[in-house]
Structure 1
Amino acid sequence: MKAPFSREELYEHIWSKPVSKLEAELSLSNWDIKQWCKKLEVPLPPVGHWSRIQFGKPVERIPLQSYPLKLNPNWPLLKRRHLT
């Protein structure tokens, strides 16, 4: 990945469209995106979130909580081999 994403930017990406559509945009696999969300404690939309939006149902966006600083929140997103 060429440019790093902040934790806040990752949160905005995750809540803007389904992870399956972000794969090509971020050049990461579904697994990689979900692992970064887990590592950076970015909440994912619950199952059925995008279907509810598609059918005009109300949805709630899980707020981004303050970061406990276990990792640098501005760490660049890297490929799977760099996650360990």
Structure 2
Amino acid sequence: MSIAELGAVLNSMYNDASMEDAGLMIRLFGIRYAAEIKKENYSNEEIIKASGISELYVYELSKGLKLSEYVNSKQL
């Protein structure tokens, strides 16, 4: 996936979630797409910028990427 595609997915996950779950969705995105992000060596900042959400959420994405080493996402 390109950075633009990842940004679009992140934007959708964030905006489709309730306000209470928006931060969780960013972490979940990091878990689900960690392999792709690491494989292409994309930076968290680039992905957040492409998503159009606040740059303050770069830390939530970092948390998701770190969590991906310990958990698996259950696709619904």
Q: Do the two structures share a fold, i.e. TM-score over 0.5?
A: no
Q: Greater helix percent: which structure? A: 2
Instruction: Please indicate the TM-score interval, normalised by the length of the shorter structure.
Output: 0.3 to 0.5
TM-score with structure 1 setting the length: 0.34
